[in-house]
Amino acid sequence: MRLAETVTFGGSGLDRAAALRGDAAALAAHLAAGRVLPVWRGKPLVAGPGRDALGWLQAGHPALALGGPVLFLGLDDGTARFAQDISAWSPEAGAEAVAAGFFDPSEQQHPALPADHAFAELRGVMTRLTPRDAELAATAKALLQWHASHGFCATCGAASQVAMAGWQRTCPACGAHHFPRTDPVVIMLVTRGNSLLLGRSPGWPEGMYSLLAGFVEPGETLEAAVRREVFEEAGIVVGPVDYLASQPWPFPASLMLGCRGEALTGAITLDPAELEDALWVSREEMQAIMSGGHARIRAPRKGAIAHFLTAHWLADRLD
């Protein structure tokens, strides 16, 4: 396994067992012996005082009573894993999720579950999960979000139906098939000599900076997307571009494609609609940022590919 595959949400090697998705009888048998991950309004159930494991339940558990269709995630060392959206459940007054803000730190506890089980924001617990649990949680969150936002046929507008154990939606009116989408996003480790380019978007928490990123457009290569995004957002011309690593990022449905770009120019011209600020940071200053010792700039969130790429750039371990 390449070092690049050890990024959060990657490298688990989950057996997705796609051949089982259309076998209703086999799936029913697997569900009876398998485990279900409930997800409430995008938050997976986590367990333990340290919130370091997913909260798997048996099918038919009371906490799943208001759940939607059960979706098949794959086989985890022979045990079937499923996910179920229970967003119809309403927590007690005062335990609702925080509706606004960059990150929701609140947790919700279900009365039918032990006290050490709670629904929590995945970004807050992702680095504590095992690689397998992280991959399963990311898959569940992305798949359920897709179903929640794609309930109608894009061809004729009729209500579509869940098919293939959650990996397809079928329109009963026109027969069209729809499949879960993943949006490719380039995220760029742009360097010039011994310096790294950082930026921050409007509305981010105070002091938070990260690598520049942007969606890949139709008809565009990754290399072209890197050069276009950096020039549009910061006015910097990028020359050679190399691919480094990828990360599924289910917020809501992105695949982050980490690339390294060599800047040919250094002057920054901001697009204020995209960036509130951007700056070049020396390797020495970046070390202080990553260690939490910088007076103004906070490091990218641990678990995000921006943190992963930056840390390995500092250690000269990009491969």
Q: Are 168 and 290 in contact (CB under 8 A)?
A: no
Supply the mean pLDDT for the chain.
94
- Whether residue 96 is predicted with pLDDT greater than 70 in this model: the reply is no
Say yes or no: 29 and 97 in one domain: yes
User: How many angstroms separate the CA atoms of 132 and 319, rounded?
Assistant: 23
Q: What is the H or E stretch that residue 31 is in?
A: helix 24-33
- Note the Cα 269 to chain centre separation in Å: 30
- What is the band of 97 on the pLDDT scale with cuts at 50, 70, 90? low
Using CA atoms, how far residue 64 sits from 82, 84, 258, in Å, is: 12, 8, 37
Q: Are 295 and 285 in contact (CB under 8 A)?
A: no
Using CA atoms, how far residue 42 sits from 257, 292, 295, 318, in Å, is: 23, 30, 34, 32
Per residue in 279-295, pLDDT (tens digit) is 999 999 999 999 999 99
Say yes or no: 120 and 218 in one domain: no
Per residue in 112-150, pLDDT (tens digit) is 999 999 999 999 999 999 999 999 999 999 999 999 999
- What is the band of 193 on the pLDDT scale with cuts at 50, 70, 90? very high
Give the total number of structural domains in the chain. Answer: 2
Please name the residue that has the structure tokens 């259309």: 22
Range of the domain at 255: 183-314
Say yes or no: 142 and 73 in one domain: yes
Say yes or no: 86 and 209 in one domain: no
Q: Is residue 238 part of a domain?
A: yes
Look at residue 1 in the predicted model and tell me its pLDDT: 47
Tell me the mean pLDDT in the region 246-260: 96
Of the three residues 97, 130, 152, the one that is the final residue of a domain is 152
Please indicate whether residue 9 or residue 97 has the higher confidence score (pLDDT).
9
User: How many angstroms separate the CA atoms of 134 and 70, rounded?
Assistant: 19
- Token pair for 125: 């617990």
Nearest 5°: phi and psi at 243?
-80, 140
Tell me the mean pLDDT in the region 47-71: 96
- What is the band of 232 on the pLDDT scale with cuts at 50, 70, 90? very high
- Whether residue 94 is predicted with pLDDT greater than 60 in this model: the reply is no
User: How many angstroms separate the CA atoms of 319 and 313, rounded?
Assistant: 10
Which residues partner with 115 through β-bridges? none
